[in-house]
Amino acid sequence: MRKKLRSNEQCNEHCEDDSCDEEQSKLIYIPSEENDVNNRLIGLYGAIDENRCRDTIAGLYYLKESGKETTVDEEKKVITNYYSPIKFLISTEGGVVADAFAVYDVMRDVRKDCEIHTFGVGTVMSAGVLLLAAGTKGQRRIGKNCRLMLHQITSGNYGHLEDLEGNFNETKWYQERYIDELCKLSKLTKNKMMSILKKKVDFYFDSEAALKMGIVDIII
């Protein structure tokens, strides 16, 4: 999980088409039939970066509104809105923490009205663990063979001393916020999180451990 990208991950200068392999690797699916509950799937597959998170945020809001059904009780003059759940597939090795928090805050907003059923597959690491845990309680799934990982935030900076101090404080803020939010979503305590992160090594664990930690609810 990085505070900043160390290099720009842009398409090759010689790319002749707007689409490329990097773009195609994003698993974003918007159903053709808007209210088809079984096909309301969106995915974040690959590094957590600005482009993928932009599409994920747009997709979450689109699926929320496209799954909206409104009923009107004319006698009681009551309007009720029902939102079909969104399935959110996650497989990532992590990425930029600021972008992850952007998706996280949108998930929190969407979840007020619409359930988000998260499903971790392959690898769910670093900032991806927070997004997996951010699904609706009781509807957070994980593949039996999925691997997860937690570690400290890393960043690379240079410049004047005052700039370095500011960047250090910003990185520290993100680290503390990540710990606070993940603890709210799971059974992990701040002491447990600090003991894991203070080792300054990647902490790998499996789906069974994720279930015990309260990061997920169901193993598939």
Give the whole-angstrom CA distance, residue 138 versus residue 68: 22
pLDDT given for residue 155 in this prediction = 60
Q: Which of 6, 168, 205 is nearest to 96 (CA)?
A: 6
Question: Rounded to a whole number, what is the distance in angstroms from the first to the last CA of the chain?
Answer: 26
Q: Establish whether 151 is a catalytic residue.
A: yes
- Whole-number pLDDT of residue 67: 93
- Among 35-39, 84-88, 211-215, the minimum mean pLDDT is found in 35-39
- The 10s digit of each residue's pLDDT in 6-31 is 333 334 444 445 544 444 434 444 44
User: 21-219 maps to which CATH number?
Assistant: 3.90.226.10
**Of 84, 126, 186, 207, which residue is the catalytic one?**
126
pLDDT for 32? 44
Predicted pLDDT of residue 62: 96
Q: Given this model, what pLDDT does residue 169 score?
A: 82
Which helix (H) or strand (E) segment holds residue 41: the answer is strand 41-45
| Catalytic option among 151, 160, 186, 195 | 151
Q: Is 126 a catalytic residue?
A: yes
